[in-house]
Chains A and B, each alone.
Chain A
Amino acid sequence: MHHDTVTLDSQAKTLFEQYKDQALTNKQRLAVPVQEMPAQDPDVRRDNMEEVALGYTEAQVLIESIRCLQCANAPCVAGCPVRIDIPRFIAKAALGDFAGSIGVIKEASMLPSVCGRVCPQETQCQQTCTVGRVHKDIDKAVSIGRIERFVADWEASQGKRSVPEVGQSTGKKVGVVGSGPASMTAAADLRRAGHEVVMFEALHKCGGVLVYGIPEFRLPKRIVQEEIDTLVSMGVKIEQNFLVGRTATIDELMTRDGFDALFIGSGAGLPNFLNIPGENLVGVFSANEYLTRSNLMRAYDKAKAGTPLFDSKRVLVFGGGNVAMDAARTAVRLGAEEVSIVYRRTATEMPARREEVAHAHEEGVLFKYLHAPKEIIGNEKGKVEGVRIVLCQLGEPDASGRRSPVEIPGSDIVLACDTVIVAIGNSSNPLIEKTTKGLQVDRKGHIVVDEDTCATSIPGVYAGGDIVLGSATVILAMGQGRKAAKAMNEYLSDREHRGGSAS
């Protein structure tokens, strides 16, 4: 059932009257109900691109924060890839010290307004939260991500976003390849150290997957733009329309163009297909294409956009991750009559963020579990008209630890559709590997880096994010950007002390 913001806020206010000025015992804290995230009404949001989750109200944050037990061993911190001091920022939020709270987060994280929205908290900080464990229900863990989002948005709303201080010029020039979360973090940390930083972006807009991949209704583009604007005001130079590997190679940047070090955060940019018959029929799209058209090219605004979008009635989306949910929910908003997720396993194994799955359900997306696509069927005009599916049952756990689907012989069915969106992950884009002599990559084409420094096989060249990790999360990418920048700063200052120069 849908509750509006006003109702949720007044419930929180009533609770707050009850708890304020009280020293609470753990038992009392555990009795405080988890605060529901206010959201747009599903019937309304099906027809707009605006953000679905509206964010906690101040009263809700105060209540949610007192649910935290302030555990001495802080299992939540261990669950956070960048080790944000979670109990400390929640304690400050509970006191209404939102400035102090965001300050704590920013010690470890560069993009709290993004991570508060897109992190899979239920498999990270909230998975290990004591409160959820006591209740034996992960949905009752402290809503760490929602509190994080609130304090980040609070800071932005105050109009006094702090621009990180930039150190004295070192005279070193550093390039950052790509402008997604890994590159944004690396760029900020490198610039803070006083280096000249140039960020190279192939597309006409910065932000990487945050801009072309994640839809407006989940992460408003203005939030990403604010982060880019912060980098620009720190003095980071941005070179758009620059595809490293083609416009200039890594080697040309290092030897011809005078860069002292480079960070490669080019992302996982090559969409996977199932390699089943019919995947090149008209009406079959990679999720990357479908989402890029809608997000980056803004094709959802049919009256204004030059980029066309396919007119879909019945859509099947292959995959069970966040990208599959994004594609399905975009199709709903673009007017498709029936949108279904086709997934080989069950809800339990599905990698998508819980909140996104719940939102997709609310918006009318259908879920066809234990369905394995075998063939896409086309009509005489080469257009998709259906997908042949084999039904599955769950077998033994596979390498990923999830129970693997086992096909049931003879269970073939055909689902009718006019559009298929393939959202089964990405492989690494081979462009930089192919154009960079001596750059070591693994079997899957991911750049091989030193675990502690993110250094590649080429001196002065570092890498992080999806090009190293495969399809990972924003927060992991950010963590690598930070790690690499630290090592690069050390590398550049060592070289300066030795008086060395680029080879």
Chain B
Amino acid sequence: MFSIIEKQKLSAEVFRMVISAPYIAKARKPGQFIIIQQGGDFAERIPLTIADADPEQGTITIIFQAVGEATHKLATLNAKDAVTNVLGPLGQPTHIEKFGKVVCVGGGIGVAPMHPIAKGMKQAGNEVKIIMGARNKGLIIMEDEMKAIADELIVCTDDGSYGRKALVTEPLKELCETWKPDLVVAIGPPVMMKFCTLTTRPFNIPTVVSLNTIMVDGTGMCGGCRVSINGKTKFVCVDGPEFDGFAVDWDNMMLRLGTFKAQEQEAHHRCHIGLHIQEGDA
């Protein structure tokens, strides 16, 4: 029922898929996500972000990195195959309005969920500057799509193989000093989001982050996704995924993300053998 219309390999471990999901395509808004379960009874449910949607065609676009057993299994599928279970759209949509000047920071695979948000911000009449970061050139995704939206696009790589050799926080700090944005939205690895909030805090610029925590059902039932926001427990799946970045207890969140680290590492090695991906390729 959730048939794959298109599949594309964007980099060694990053894939783009267009999936038929008419209800989700119709209902989804920027900032929301889905849960996928690929395979039979024993397969894991994993949250993935929605990069784009076409309500007329009834399709959604997902961009994912094969990092665990479940995403590897998904990556083995091709056009005309079908994904077993897709639930969504989940979570609260991004609060989009005319703020004035908005900086969107996307790190790694976080560029994918940033795309609809940046687009929405632009459509709402904001001036939008986008900072994209990746470890190296091969991991840069959606550059053209982002260029089409941004008033200015800054691309950085950790190793300098493309764009500016810098972490995203460097240009972010400069923009805070010179451009003085009204809002910053940051999506990427937790450590990147944490340092984005440390960068914007001295300038007192509201900073929204989108969290991707451990989840099972995605509907508020399991509480595996809970995070501490200003000392209060919130569920990422129903209260989030977006929160005030200054209120997030990052260290606790990152520790919680490592809850099943031992089991996940073992599974990752097994998957790489199956997918013929060399360790360190990504």
Chain A positions within 8 Å of B, measured between CB atoms, are: 202-204, 212, 240-243, 246-248, 269-271, 273, 275, 279-283, 285-286, 288-289, 292-293, 296-298, 301, 304-311, 381-383, 429-431
Knowing A247-B27, A308-B263 touch, does A285 contact B224 (C-beta < 8 A)? yes
- Chain A residues with CB under 8 Å of B260's CB are 308, 310
Q: Is the CB of A289 within 8 A of B219?
A: no
**Within 8 Å of chain A (Cβ to Cβ): is B194?**
no
Q: Is the CB of B221 within 8 A of A247?
A: no
Q: Is the CB of B222 within 8 A of A292?
A: yes
**Contact flags B1-42 to A (C-beta < 8 A → 1, else 0):** 010000000000000000000011001000000000101011
**Within 8 Å of chain A (Cβ to Cβ): is B88?**
yes
**Contact flags B96-120 to A (C-beta < 8 A → 1, else 0):** 0000000000000000000000000
- Chain A residues with CB under 8 Å of B219's CB are 202-203, 243, 269, 429, 431
For chain B, residues 119 to 176, give those with C-beta under 8 angstroms from any C-beta of chain A: none
Q: Is the CB of A248 within 8 A of B23?
A: yes
**By DSSP majority rule, is chain B's interface helix, strand, loop, or mixed?**
mixed
Q: Give the residue of B42, B224, B252 whose beta carbon is less than 8 angstroms from that of A289.
A: B224
Q: Is the CB of A382 within 8 A of B255?
A: yes
Most interface-central of B217, B228, B235, B249 (chain A CB within 10 A)? B217
**Within 8 Å of chain A (Cβ to Cβ): is B259?**
yes
Kindly provide the distance from the CB of A219 to the nearest chain B CB, expressed in whole angstroms: 17
CA distance A273 to B87 in the complex (A): 26
Q: Give the residue of B87, B216, B223, B251 whose beta carbon is less than 8 angstroms from that of A241.
A: B87
- Chain A residues with CB under 8 Å of B227's CB are 280
Kindly provide the distance from the CB of A210 to the nearest chain B CB, expressed in whole angstroms: 14
Q: Give the residue of A203, A242, A382 whose beta carbon is less than 8 angstroms from that of B23.
A: A242
Kindly provide the distance from the CB of A379 to the nearest chain B CB, expressed in whole angstroms: 11
**Within 8 Å of chain A (Cβ to Cβ): is B220?**
yes
- Chain A residues with CB under 8 Å of B245's CB are none
20 sampled A-B residue pairs with Cβ under 8 A: A202-B87, A204-B87, A240-B85, A246-B88, A246-B90, A247-B87, A269-B220, A270-B220, A271-B222, A280-B228, A280-B252, A285-B224, A298-B42, A306-B69, A306-B267, A310-B260, A311-B263, A382-B252, A429-B219, A429-B221
Q: Is the CB of B27 within 8 A of A248?
A: yes
- Chain B residues with CB under 8 Å of A241's CB are 2, 85-87
Kindly provide the distance from the CB of B30 to the nearest chain A CB, expressed in whole angstroms: 15
- Chain A residues with CB under 8 Å of B73's CB are 306
Measured CB to CB, the nearest residue on chain A to B224 is: A289
Given contacts A280-B227, A382-B252, A429-B221, 14 further A-B contacts (CB under 8 A): A203-B217, A269-B220, A270-B238, A280-B226, A282-B259, A288-B222, A292-B216, A306-B42, A306-B73, A307-B42, A308-B260, A382-B251, A382-B255, A382-B256
**Within 8 Å of chain A (Cβ to Cβ): is B70?**
yes
Measured CB to CB, the nearest residue on chain B to A286 is: B223
Knowing A273-B223, A429-B219 touch, does A204 contact B238 (C-beta < 8 A)? no
Knowing A204-B37, A307-B45, A429-B220 touch, does A282 contact B87 (C-beta < 8 A)? no
**Within 8 Å of chain A (Cβ to Cβ): is B247?**
no
CA distance A429 to B90 in the complex (A): 14
Measured CB to CB, the nearest residue on chain B to A291 is: B222
**Within 8 Å of chain A (Cβ to Cβ): is B43?**
yes
Kindly provide the distance from the CB of A431 to the nearest chain B CB, expressed in whole angstroms: 7
CA distance A304 to B42 in the complex (A): 6
CA distance A275 to B24 in the complex (A): 35
CA distance A306 to B238 in the complex (A): 24
**Contact flags B205-245 to A (C-beta < 8 A → 1, else 0):** 00000000000110111111011100001010010000000
Knowing A248-B27, A280-B233, A381-B255 touch, does A289 contact B216 (C-beta < 8 A)? yes
Kindly provide the distance from the CB of A483 to the nearest chain B CB, expressed in whole angstroms: 25
- Chain A residues with CB under 8 Å of B222's CB are 271, 286, 288-289, 292-293
Q: Give the residue of A242, A269, A279, A297 whose beta carbon is less than 8 angstroms from that of B45.
A: A297
CA distance A240 to B70 in the complex (A): 20
Measured CB to CB, the nearest residue on chain B to A268 is: B221
